[in-house]
Structure 1
Amino acid sequence: MTSSVRISLPNGIQYTQPTCLFIDNKWVPGDSDTFSVLNPASEDEIVTIQGASSTNVDQAVIAARRAFEGVWSEIAASERGAFLYKIAELIKRDRELIASIDALDNGKPYTAALNIDLDEAWNVFRYYAGAADKITGQTIETSPAKLAYVMQEPLGVCGQIIPWNYPFMMLAWKVAPALACGNTVVLKPAEQTPLSALYFCELVLEAGLPAGVVNVLPGIGSITGSALALHEDVDKIAFTGSTPTGREIMKAAASNLKNITLECGGKSPSVVFEDADLEQAVKWCHSGIMDNQGQICTSTSRIYVHESVYDDFLTRFVDVTKKHDKIGDQFSEGIYQGAQISDIQQQRILSFIEAGKKDGARLLYGGTRHGQKGYFIKPTIFADTTESMKIVREEIFGPVVAISKFSTQGEVIRKCNDSPYGLAAALFTENVRRAHIVARKLQAGMVWINSSGDSHYGIPFGGYKSSGIGRELGQYALDAYTQSKAVHVNLDSAS
């Protein structure tokens, strides 16, 4: 089987797509079953990828360990930063190509991949390039004759498992801080969207990173991901994906008490108070659930609206949704919504829509698939929902929103927090005191006041409860990829 194929993208770009594993700066054949990568908009096969077996995972971990102990953790931090900056510049150069690759196997609009995902990835690598030589400890005088200093040291070999909703951006979130801290990486991309991660390896080679620092293993989660999480010589697992899979990752990591970062599911609420700027609230609530085909862990899929403005909000929300109901092929001009990732995901979302109807929610808009080919679903709005409904309790991961009314501040805070998840929350009000009081009471790792979905590479990202453990981005990611060593020094020769 060939290690690469030539692909012509629908927007006219041509490139060579690697189709095997990347271990120790070499393209290596996979020992596990091959799998097909599909275009969600057409349901056609793009390419066949070789899968990594547990033996391949061993090979990659050995390479990463050798690179960690002999090279990467030993070079100057500023030199690591220089490597990351080279990668950032290569991403900037190839941003149109990488965005096209992500759009092709993910189904998201090319413009979104270009202007959101790739800009974020570029900024993340630049940020951690600058942070690499600023990872410092502290010195503490414990008595007149004694002091201690604290060092922040890399963890070692980091296994990283990324999802399919933001393929290249999630790669950046994980790889950049890990490398900045001096760790080496074995990364498993989602089997639905492995193409940009494999292309990234070409940038690793071009940037001149030492062999074994970055290894990429496409494969099936139950085979490749499981072997990585269970591996006794992997020091950390960083995972982004569903909460059920996160629980399995956590169990596997217990084999050698691996350090873990888990960014899992969400059922994030938006709260619209009676004094909110309704035009802005509707705009942000719409993007908060409908962006990226609703395939965002932070999607604000529950909207609670004060009873005094409830009907007005519903009318405006339906109008905005109709305005943005532009569904189609990811490379078509003017589209807002692309395809869902797979047939399985499409059917899952449709089953939630049927459950909403069965449970008595009022369907205001959508509720069906779009077209006869491709995994498209109409943006769907349910109103008059209750807390016992499946569409309110469970993560759908699609363009489906559940809207209900509330009367008091205390009532809506209880409803927002009545969830096993706690990833994000949004609230809309012109009352500054109320905004901060409610933000403090919401059980979520991120709260947006008068906006939704905001993220920044310098700000921590993560959740409470079943939404995960640990934080990504900013200084918090550097903390997640280092460990503290205390060195005690006795300055008194007489004692």
Structure 2
Amino acid sequence: MPTSDVRRTTAAEPLVSPAEFPPDRHFVDGAFRPASGGGFLDVVDPCSGKTIAQTAEGTAEDVDAAVQAAGAAAPGWRRRTPKQRSEILHRIADRIAARADLFARLEAVDTGKPMAVARDDVEQAVDTFRFMAGAVRAPVSAAAEQYAEGHLSLIQREPLGVVGVVTPWNYPLLMAAWKIAPILAAGNTLVLKPSELTPLTTLKFAELTDHLLPPGVFNVVTGTGPVAGARLAGHPDVAMIALTGSVGSGRAVARAAADSLKRVHLELGGKAPVVVFADADLPAAAVALRTAGYWNSGQECGAACRVLVHESVAGRFAELLVEQVGSFVVGEPGAGEEVELGPLVSQAHFERVTGFLERARAQGARAAIGGGALDGPGYFVAPTVLVDVPDGAECTREEIFGPVVTVETFRDEQEAVDRANAVSYGLAASVWTEDARRSHDVAARLDAGTVWVNDHLVLASEVPWGGFNGSGYGRDLSVYALDDFSRTKHVMHNVTR
């Protein structure tokens, strides 16, 4: 399995000084406070496997205190006008932008992602807050009208109340922003539990914005999913639970939410098919997949991880993709701007991804490049292209969530569509063809919440993000997120005289 083309670099100096780390406590009711049980969780540098910080190990009692604070703050926050909430969101965006370098360095050291990826996360977080700040002042709703004779109907949008949020480890700051901004814009308060693996930027966000929001409007409880996350999902005073995470986490949250019949917003995994037809611009597709398949070391739910290419051009496309992948520089985020891929986030995830590669090899797949771990400390896996993949192999059905792209072939259009849809996920997909009619028709037949044509993994705050089937339900970004985090009320006035 060739891996020699991959260069690995090492950082000379730490990215973050001890004074720049956030407090190691919960943020509740406008102040940092210790965990009620006194426990701590280690935060590990994935480049070295060494502990770099600790955070409070949250308990059910800690979650209860945060929910109580959010509930007490909810009436005052919902009475703020859209303009007032918008102005605060703009100030939050300004604060993040002013400390963008610190946020990017913290995100890089916490997750191992390259600085270019971390900076992009920060920029997108700022844009998310700015978009929601504007969108909340321009609501779209049915016009007031006499839909029943002699009765004037008004459609009002109201906050839900307290929203619980659970964010993932792959985009800690950005996924927090995707939830915080529309939740606050819609007039809700919230309690957020970040992943215990990557809590640093969420706590730094709380530290740097604590004077911009009234106490209790935004709260952070750190801890594990089975304890803090489960209590948040099942809490009777939480009106909605919103999670970005794995399918397993989504099932657990939905079950916990069922008893209180609270609303659930789930953005889960993906296994994005990339359907490449014979007439596609193959070099352009290979260049695009170099980014879309391996961004954030493939730890991306919309990653272009499963290529379905017409059998007549499959060999040529695989050659082009391997050529692109062979030029990656893998390394620690502090090693310089040339680093494009970092490590996987944790020892457990490293073992999960390498396990997938071992089983793929046992099932007959061949690594055209990569295929295993890189030498040295940390959780580094070589960027990999798997070819000669048997039909129905595990690596084509399950979300690997690492720097791995599989290449399969198809004979005709219907087979391509059927196989693209033959997985439990439905988050994203892309179609590559120069035939405009085909691009419209095939995109309509793919069962995914986002379908790109002749590109992949391009996002914008103005358009919704979310999936179908096993990828969950609910929408992030765009005005549709404001819809998700609010409720409609119909008020009808009898105006007959």
1:156-305 pair list within 5 angstroms = 156-207=161-212, 209-305=213-309
Does structure 1 conserve the Cα–Cα contact (< 8 Å) formed by 2:363 and 2:390? no
Q: After superposition, give the CA deviation of every residue in 1:418-451 in whole Å (9 maximum; x if it has no partner).
A: 0111110011111111001000000000001001
Alignment partners' CA distance in 2, 1:30 and 1:107:
27
Following TM superposition, by how much is the alpha carbon of 1:256 offset from its aligned partner in structure 2, in angstroms?
A: 1.0
- What residue is the counterpart of 1:357 in the other structure? 361
- What residue is the counterpart of 1:5 in the other structure? none
Does structure 2 conserve the Cα–Cα contact (< 8 Å) formed by 1:288 and 1:300? yes
Alignment partners' CA distance in 2, 1:129 and 1:432:
36
Identity %: 38
Alignment partners' CA distance in 2, 1:90 and 1:9:
24
Matched, 1:459 2:463: yes
- What residue is the counterpart of 2:72 in the other structure? 66
Alignment partners' CA distance in 2, 1:364 and 1:231:
49
> Counterpart of 1:396 in 2: which secondary structure?
coil
Q: Give the TM-score, by structure 2 length.
A: 0.95
Following TM superposition, by how much is the alpha carbon of 1:75 offset from its aligned partner in structure 2, in angstroms?
A: 1.4
Alignment partners' CA distance in 2, 1:239 and 1:143:
40
Q: Give the TM-score, by structure 1 length.
A: 0.95
Alignment partners' CA distance in 1, 2:289 and 2:275:
9
- What residue is the counterpart of 1:77 in the other structure? 82
Does structure 2 conserve the Cα–Cα contact (< 8 Å) formed by 1:9 and 1:100? no
Q: After superposition, give the CA deviation of every residue in 1:386-426 in whole Å (9 maximum; x if it has no partner).
A: 33211111111001111011110001100000011111001
Q: After superposition, give the CA deviation of every residue in 1:268-302 in whole Å (9 maximum; x if it has no partner).
A: 11011111111111112222221100100111211
- What residue is the counterpart of 2:324 in the other structure? 320
> Counterpart of 1:422 in 2: which secondary structure?
coil
Matched, 1:87 2:92: yes
Does structure 2 conserve the Cα–Cα contact (< 8 Å) formed by 1:128 and 1:177? yes
Structure 2 portions without partners, runs of 5+: 1-12
Alignment partners' CA distance in 2, 1:160 and 1:10:
29
Structure 2 counterpart of 1:376, one-letter code: F
1:403-482 pair list within 5 angstroms = 403-482=407-486
Does structure 1 conserve the Cα–Cα contact (< 8 Å) formed by 2:16 and 2:106? no
Alignment partners' CA distance in 2, 1:140 and 1:405:
55
- What residue is the counterpart of 1:112 in the other structure? 117
Matched, 1:35 2:41: yes
Alignment partners' CA distance in 2, 1:81 and 1:484:
20
How many residues are matched? 482
Does structure 1 conserve the Cα–Cα contact (< 8 Å) formed by 2:21 and 2:200? no
Matched, 1:44 2:50: yes
What is the Cα-based RMSD across aligned positions, in Å?
1.3
Alignment partners' CA distance in 1, 2:465 and 2:282:
27
Does structure 2 conserve the Cα–Cα contact (< 8 Å) formed by 1:340 and 1:375? yes
- Higher mean alpha-carbon deviation, 14-23 vs 60-69, is at 14-23
Structure 1 portions without partners, runs of 5+: 1-7
> Counterpart of 1:300 in 2: which secondary structure?
coil
Does structure 1 conserve the Cα–Cα contact (< 8 Å) formed by 2:343 and 2:379? yes
> Counterpart of 1:134 in 2: which secondary structure?
coil
Alignment partners' CA distance in 1, 2:27 and 2:15:
27
Q: After superposition, give the CA deviation of every residue in 1:57-78 in whole Å (9 maximum; x if it has no partner).
A: 1110010011002x10011111
Alignment partners' CA distance in 1, 2:462 and 2:392:
37
- What residue is the counterpart of 1:329 in the other structure? 332
- Higher mean alpha-carbon deviation, 152-161 vs 301-310, is at 301-310
